[in-house]
Amino acid sequence: MHVSGPSVAVDGEGNVYVAWIAAAHDSNDLYVVKPVTGEEKPVRVNPGGLSVDSVHQSPGVVTGPGGEVYVSWASAKDKPEGVIFANDLRLSRSLDGGESFDAPIMINEDRPISHTFEGLAVDESGDVLVAWIDSRDGWNKPATYLASISDEGARVGESVKFGGETCVCCRVSVAAADGKEAALWRGVAEGNVRNMVLALGTDGKFEQAVVHNDGWKLDSSPHRGGEVAIGDDGEVYLVWYTEGASGVPEILFSKSGTVTMPGPMKIDSAEGSVPDQPGMAVNDKGQVAVVWEDSTAVRRNIKMRFSADGGKTFGEPVVISRAVKSFMPDITVAPDGRFVAVWHEEHFPSIRTIVQYVEPGA
């Protein structure tokens, strides 16, 4: 593939923003578009001479309370001899509704190491929260860090380091609402057991705990993380991919008002097809939508399950894509409570990016 998965955000006026990274001849470029008719021209975010590091992950995109658009991405960086990966974590902002983007700021300290696989959110004060995987303690000791960026994405605060080793290529997810902040990542425990870990706190003070002992042992990174969301009532919602002790691909869901999660609910499991790449969103009524990519050797669909009771129960899976090969979904919530899903579809020789509004319960 020469394009990353798409990411989607919606501002307070209901404007949708879609971001993705595409490989060019001599660089990787980051684009954002505000689709209305489908004919809008995307805006390139990264300035000339500064390439995005890779297309292996989607950029982060969120909106602020004043209509600000924030995009996170990792820029390519020169690697000293013996260094395998090096990049800088960047934040770009638009103050004119995505028409143009200011010069990006660098979030991390200037070190020739990896800073990537980030998650992005905006808290109730309008500050941007970024969490990422950082190898400053050594290549064999990757960890998850979180920083708050104030002044409309202009001033980076001190970073918080969470405990335990982080799975080096599994994307981190962050969320903020109801005075709470949350970060979700895949940890690595003794024996290469790879469970999800949740940090939950307020005012920069966090508790953290293993979400569930999935029993998934793997000697390398699966390159698959999870998603965290916080409802207006303070409930914390999680969804993640695992292959557990049995090796069967599954998507699991759990929710709680604290860092301690109950046993998970199965959203989907491999029975003739493989569930993958889950995304999740929660609206202000506590309605939950989970999307994922469902694939066989021939086709790939985008499926959705919906909960009208805050994740206590879910309806049956529904296919929301139409192409034979649809992949890499993302989902968010519009101000009116509708869900907005985005994904790619293969229409050889091109790839189309689809934006779909979904009524709760539809």
User: Rounded to an integer, what distance in angstroms lies between the CA atom of residue 147 and that of residue 108?
Assistant: 9
The pLDDT mean for the chain works out to 95
User: Rounded to an integer, what distance in angstroms lies between the CA atom of residue 359 and that of residue 362?
Assistant: 5
- From residue 100, alpha-carbon distances to 59, 92, 238 in Å are 17, 10, 34
216 pLDDT more than 90? yes
Find, among 126, 115, 251, the residue nearest to 172 by Cα: 115
206 pLDDT more than 90? yes
Query: What is the DSSP secondary structure assignment for residue 50, as one 8-state letter?
Result: -
Q: Read off the pLDDT of each residue in 234-239 and give the average, rounded to a whole number.
A: 97
Q: Which CATH number is 1-161 given?
A: 2.120.10.10
Q: Cβ distance 74 to 52 under 8 Å?
A: yes
211 pLDDT more than 70? yes
Residue identified by tokens 């694939």 is 295
Number of Cβ within a 10 Å radius of residue 330 = 24
Q: What percent of the chain has pLDDT over 90?
A: 87
79 pLDDT more than 80? no
- Tens of pLDDT, residue by residue over 53-76, are 999 999 999 999 999 999 999 998
Give the count of alpha carbons within 13 A of 247, CB side only.
1
What pLDDT, on the 0 to 100 scale, is given for residue 109?
A: 85
- Tens of pLDDT, residue by residue over 139-184, are 788 999 999 999 999 999 999 999 999 999 899 999 999 999 999 9
pTM: 0.96
What pLDDT, on the 0 to 100 scale, is given for residue 204?
A: 85
- In DSSP notation, 104-146 reads PEE-S-S-SS-EEEEEEEE-TTS-EEEEEEE-TT-TT--EEEE
Q: Read off the pLDDT of each residue in 17-21 and give the average, rounded to a whole number.
A: 98
What pLDDT, on the 0 to 100 scale, is given for residue 1?
A: 60
